[in-house]
Structure 1
C-alpha cells in the first residue's frame, strides 16, 4: 500500500487549514497513495483558546474532511478538536475515506516540559485500529509516542501500520527524541510507523509555550529503518508499505510473542 504523510504548518483559521488538507490530499492521490496522514492540530494550531475552535464530529469542519476524502477517493487521517462536555475539548483524529468513518481521542495528555494539556483537553480511553485497503492502521497522537504499551496493544489488536500525528514541542534535543521514539515504537510493535508532525514555524507563541511543531516527519519500517524523512519545512512524504515485512519482523524479532508477565514489586519475595 502506498501512503502519504503531509507535514503541514497549521494556522489559527480552520477554513484555511482545510485548504491545506485539500491541497495535500489531492497531491497524495495524484501520487497513487490510498492513505494520507496529517498532523495533530490540523484544524488549528496550539496556542489559541481551543474551546472556541472545537466542533463535533458531525460538524462542518469534519464533514468537509469527509468531502475531501470522497472527492479524491483516498482515506484521510487528520487532527481536530471536539467538545468534551466539561468545558474542555478532546484532542481527536478523524479517519475517513472509502469504507471508513472513525475517530480516536488522545489518551496520554502532554503534561510535561512545562505545558499542561489537561487543563484544556480531556483524555480519551480507547485504542483504535481501522482498516484501509486491507491494511490494519492504528491511531495515536503526539505524547502517546512516549508510552510503548499503547503501541504493543495496537499491534496485538492487529495494527500493521501505526499513525502518530503530532505537533511536537520545540527545545534542546526534542527533534532527536521525536525521531528516536518513532523508530523505537516501530521496533516495540514490529509495525510500520507513520509519524506526521507539524512543520517548524520558526517563531513560537511565547505567551503559551504551546507545542507548534519541529518538522522531522518520517515513515519507519517494522525493522526500525527510516524509509522517508522530512526536514523542517512543509512537505509531502510518499512511501510504500508491505504487510509482508510486518509478518517477517514479527517472526524474526518476535517481541510481541516473547513478552512475559513479570512479578509486581508488591508481590516479589524478599531475599533469604
Structure 2
C-alpha cells in the first residue's frame, strides 16, 4: 500500500497529499518518510500547481513516528540514526521544512491525533486548519527526546520562547481551541476541509508570482538562519538518543502501560 497518495483537481492546480496508513493512525515509518520526500520533489515539478493540502486518511492526521517499525529493523534504525550526523538538512527535517521550498501555499487539515512528527509536519505548512476536538502535542519529551523533524526551527515563528519551552518540556496535550489560543494553528473549524477550500479559492484569485514571492520573502524575514536552527536539532538529539536518561524515559512507558493505551497515544513523535 502506498504510504503517500497525491490527488489533483481537474485543472491540476490543487494537490491533496494524503498520509495513507489509517490502520496505524498514519504513524510514520521509513517508507512514509521517503515517500513524503518524493512527493515534495514531484510536486515541485508540476508547473500548473497553485496550492497543496496535507491530510491524513482515517481517524488521525498523524500520530507520530511508528517506533515499533523502526526498532524492529536494525538496518533502518541505523540509517535513521546516521541522518542525525549529516551536516545539512536531513530526511526527517525535510518531512516538514521541505514544504517551505515550494512556491505555493500549503495548508494542513488537522483532525484526530496530531503528535510529534505529525505536529512537526503541520508546522511545515503555511496555514493550519484544525478541528476543535483534535489533539495536538509536541510529544518527544515523553520519550526523553527533543523534536528534531523541523519542529524546533518552526516553533520559533509561532510561539514566544517561554511557551515553546513549556510545551516541548511537558509534551502537554492540547485540543484545537487551546492550540489556536497559543498560535499553533491558524483556524479552528468543525469542517476544516471547507475552510481550506475557501482559503485556496481566495488565494487562487491572486497572482501566483505574488503568492510565491510573499511566501519566500516572509519565510526569509521570519526564518533567518533556519539552517543553523536545524543543525541545533540534530546536535541535541544526538546528545540524547540512546543515553541513560533517554533509556529511562522509554522504560517508564513499559509494554504494560502501552497495551492499556490506544495505539495513537503510543507514538514517539
Instruction: Name the structure with the higher helix share.
Output: 2
Instruction: Name the structure with the higher strand share.
Output: 1
| TM-score over 0.5 (shorter chain) | no
**TM-score computed with the length of structure 2 as normaliser:** 0.32
**TM-score computed with the length of structure 1 as normaliser:** 0.31
